[in-house]
Amino acid sequence: MEIFLRLIVIFVKAVALIISPLLEAFVYPRKSKSTLIPPIRNRLLTLSIQELRSRLRSRQLTSVELVSAYIERIEVVNKHLNAVVESRYSAALEEATETDDLIASCASTADVEKLFEERPLLGLPVTIKESCALEGMTFAVGSLTRKSIKAQADGEAVKRLKSAGAIPLLISATPEYCFSIETDTLLNGRCLNPYDFERTPGGSSGGEGSLNGAGASLFGIGSDIGGSIRIPSLYCGIFGHKPSGGVVSVKGHFPNSKDPNIEHYLVEGPMTRFAGDLSELLQIMAGKENSAKLRLSEPVQLNQIKVQYALGFDGINGWMHQSVDKDIRGAICRATTHLKTIGLEVNKAKLPNLENSMEMALSGIADQDLMDYLLEDEGSGKVRETLWEIVKSVRGHSKYTTNGLIFELTRRSGAFMSRSKMNLYLEETRGLIREFANLLGDNGVLLFPTLNLPAPRHKWSFLSLWGIDYTLMFNVLGLPVTHVPMGLNKRGLPVGLSVIGAPNQDRLCLRVAVELERAFGGWKPPVPNDLDN
């Protein structure tokens, strides 16, 4: 363990123990205002990809009707959430019209079936995280210094979704360079959580989390290098899947790295309210070759999956971290009880040694010195200049966000570790990959907290930031992780858990997610639906 890092963690834990109860009891005794987000009225917004495709294929529904329904919902909620950076509604409606004409031109039912076999997302709307590159649309990624930059081509995963027939509606908000777990930028302002406007939707896929949680996206594409899919999924009550390292191409993503191993850490994946849609979306995003490697089209026998669980880190490492919220621990316990009841083998995990989880996690990120830096264009390669820019940012005199600069400082300083220590932790990580692979095998999953707390208040996310190894650890290990929503706590905030598999065993995580959705209901709307008949 690194003493300096651990002193920071202990200090943050002490602050949290003092401040959090005061905030909840006196400053924010309840949701100061009930979430103002309007309820869902259009039944189309409650249907999954499979259900909508069935209606499109049978010509009971048109793509124009569906796309229009989502555009209407987005316009209603975005004035509350500030989750949309740039829209393309007119172009989307034109593409929907072309789709309807294409379907109408099919001479027979067999022709329609063949069309949807070739393009399984035909006519379905999708929302795109800004960092994932949609040709001709903003590619600023929350940065003032990139505000005029447009994507010159589709990112690889976006290209695959479009080739499958999906219709992009918009670009959603991210933190600056994706370098924060709070989506709040100088360029676009603050994105809000649909369950409580005083709380963050998370980051860096915060716009996607916010829109999906509000029922304003059928599905979205996010990216994840340290929890950027899973944290917004937790905070906004949706499903999000971080694929195994190297499965989904991040070509076209910003920021990126010249390191050939970057796709082990940085991944793109699907975010949605419907667990049953995740596997198909992952197949499309991964492409045929990688989908075959993941065996996503093969059925998974639920009763053959062996489940292990842990309620957090053990021993002194667990003591140093903030305690995992009781409702998150309760969600894991409810999930394990259910899975055991239906016949799965469930055991408390004897995890490999995670005493240095924070050091290993931060070493993996700090080692990415070929990834884009905020200050790189200005020739600033030293810790001192970054520190000075942080001071300017705190005083409101920088064109960079404080959170982005803190992430930058962590990288430039080697996570406050010597190079030799970093190398030792990286070597320890490589051994840990083998240990987790042996622990889980080809039929095991681990239930684990996605993060220690539900969505925090704006500007208080730094308390959760020092538990980032809950998510970042599994990027460094390259393991697949599915976040599963498990209902709302007494304050109406989403809680949930992570289902983790061995490398390339994504299908096991996805299968367990489907079962937990069936048993516990999955996504719960911020306000009860008020559906038109």
Residue 444 and residue 104: Cα distance in Å, rounded?
46
- Lowest mean pLDDT: which of 78-87, 296-305, 377-386? 377-386
**Does the pLDDT of residue 378 top 60, yes or no?**
no
The total number of residues written for the chain in this structure: 533
E strand spans, 300-408 = 306-309, 345-348
- Secondary structure string (H, E, C) spanning 324-351: CCHHHHHHHHHHHHHHHHCCCEEEECCC
- How far apart are the C-alpha atoms of 209 and 207, rounded to whole Å? 5
pTM of the prediction? 0.96
Considering the candidates 13, 63, 68, 129, report the single residue annotated as catalytic. 129
- Catalytic member of 131, 180, 204, 205: 204
Is residue 291 part of the annotated active site? The answer reads no
pLDDT tens per residue across span 228-257: 999 999 999 999 999 999 999 999 999 999
What is the model's pLDDT at position 379?
47
Cα 45-50-55 angle, rounded to 5 deg: 75
Concerning whether 228 is annotated as a catalytic residue, the answer is yes
Tens-place pLDDT, residues 416-449: 899 999 999 999 999 999 999 999 999 999 999 9
Is 114 assigned a catalytic role? no
> Among 23-27, 54-58, 178-182, 424-428, which is the least confidently predicted range?
23-27
Q: Residue 216: which region, alpha, beta or left (left: phi > 0; alpha: psi -120 to 50)? A: alpha
| Mean pLDDT value across the chain | 94
Residue range 35-85, pLDDT digits in tens: 679 999 999 999 999 999 999 999 999 999 999 999 999 999 999 999 999
- What are the helix and strand counts (H, E) for the chain? 19, 13
Output the pLDDT for position 377.
Answer: 56
Dihedral sign from CA coordinates of 185, 189, 194, 197: positive
Please identify which of the residues 228, 291, 357, 398 carries the catalytic annotation.
228
Q: Which residues face 307 on adjacent strands?
A: 346, 445
Residue 137 CB contacts under 8 Å (≥ 6 apart), including other chains: 86, 88, 128, 130, 150, 151, 171
For the chain, the structural domain boundaries read: 35-520
Whether 250 and 131 have beta carbons less than 8 Å apart is answered as no
Looking at domain 35-520, its CATH architecture is: Alpha-Beta Complex (3.90)
pLDDT confidence of 380, banded at 50, 70, 90?
A: very low
What is the per-residue pLDDT for 464?
Answer: 83
Q: What is the pLDDT of residue 436?
A: 96
**523 has pLDDT over 90:** yes
Confidence at residue 103, expressed as pLDDT on a 0 to 100 scale: 97
